[in-house]
C-alpha cells in the first residue's frame, strides 16, 4: 500500500473544487456524467469528491488526518492562497480553517470544506524542534494547571471549559502572576485567545500587557520571536 486517497461527498462539485483551488490545489479531473465527480491534488496529496444533493454539511462527520513534513509552510501556503482569493480566512462556519495548534502529539491545523468534510493537517512533535514550547512553562506552581488549561483549549477545543478553569484556578488579573516573563507571556497568550474565541474581541488589558512584554524583550531571542509571532497570529483580524 503506497497511498490512500480519501473520497468525500460535497453538495456542489464546482464550489468544492473552487475552494480547494483557492488553497492551492489543482483540479486534475472532473466529470458530470453519469455522476458528478472530481479529483484535486496538492503535491502527493490527492482527494476525490462526489456530488451528493442530500448531504447536510453541518452534519457530515467524515474526516481524514494528513501527516506532512512542514505544517507551518503548508498552513502559510493555504491561508495565503485563501486570503488572496477571497479576502479573508474563515475561522467559523462552513467552510473554515483553524489557526495552528500545538498539541501533545503534533502541531496541526484543521480544514472543514464546503461539504463539511474535515482534514486534520499536522506534523508529529517528534519531527519538530521544541514542540512543547507553548504548552509548558518553567513555574513549578503553575505548570500543571497551565498544561491542563492549554489542553482544554487546544487539544479538546473546549473553550467554555478552558474559560471556567481560567476563572477558577487563575487570578482575575493574569498579569499579577508571580512568574518569569516568558511564562507570563505564554499564559497571557492562552488567556487572550480564550477571550477572543468567546467574545470575538481582544481583551484590552491582556493585549496591552503582552505588547509591553514583547516590546521589552530581546528581539534576537528565538523564544521571544516565537511568542511575538503567536501573538500576531492570535490578534490579526481575518
Checking if the pLDDT of 123 tops 80, the result is yes
Contact 28, 69 (CB under 8 A): no
Contact 52, 154 (CB under 8 A): no
Work out whether strand 45-51 and strand 63-67 pair parallel, antiparallel, or are unpaired. Answer: unpaired
Contact 93, 131 (CB under 8 A): no
Question: What is the second-level CATH architecture of the domain 7-127?
Answer: Roll (3.10)
> Would you list the domain boundaries of the chain?
7-127, 142-236
Give me the DSSP letters along 21-54: HHHT-EEEEEE-SSS-EEEEEETTEEEEEEE-TT
Residue of 236 and 191 predicted with greater confidence: 191
Checking if the pLDDT of 129 tops 80, the result is no
pTM over 0.75? The answer is yes
Tens digit of each residue's pLDDT (9 = 90 or more) over 62-84: 999 999 999 999 999 999 999 99
Amino acid at each position: 500500500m503506497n497511498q490512500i486517497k480519501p473520497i468525500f461527498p460535497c453538495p456542489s462539485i464546482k464550489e468544492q473544487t473552487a475552494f480547494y483551488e483557492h488553497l492551492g490545489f489543482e483540479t486534475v479531473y472532473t466529470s458530470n456524467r453519469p455522476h458528478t465527480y472530481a479529483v484535486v491534488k496538492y503535491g502527493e496529496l490527492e482527494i476525490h469528491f462526489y456530488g451528493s444533493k442530500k448531504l447536510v454539511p453541518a452534519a457530515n462527520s467524515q474526516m481524514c488526518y494528513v501527516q506532512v513534513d512542514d505544517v507551518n509552510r503548508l498552513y502559510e501556503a493555504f491561508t495565503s492562497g485563501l486570503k488572496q482569493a477571497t479576502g479573508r480566512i474563515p475561522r467559523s462556519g462552513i467552510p473554515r480553517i483553524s489557526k495552528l495548534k500545538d498539541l501533545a502529539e503534533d502541531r496541526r491545523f484543521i480544514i472543514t470544506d464546503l461539504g463539511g468534510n474535515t482534514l486534520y493537517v499536522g506534523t508529529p512533535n517528534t519531527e519538530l524542534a521544541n514542540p512543547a514550547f507553548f504548552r509548558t512553562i518553567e513555574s513549578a506552581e503553575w505548570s500543571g494547571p497551565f498544561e491542563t488549561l492549554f489542553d482544554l483549549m487546544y487539544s479538546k477545543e473546549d473553550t467554555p471549559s478552558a474559560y471556567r478553569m481560567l476563572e477558577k484556578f487563575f487570578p482575575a488579573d493574569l498579569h499579577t502572576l508571580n512568574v518569569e516573563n516568558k511564562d507570563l507571556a505564554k499564559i497571557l497568550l492562552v488567556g487572550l485567545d480564550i477571550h477572543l474565541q468567546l467574545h470575538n474581541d481582544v481583551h484590552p488589558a491582556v493585549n496591552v500587557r503582552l505588547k509591553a512584554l514583547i516590546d521589552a524583550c530581546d528581539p534576537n531571542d528565538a523564544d521571544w520571536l516565537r511568542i511575538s509571532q503567536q501573538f500576531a497570529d492570535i490578534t490579526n483580524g481575518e
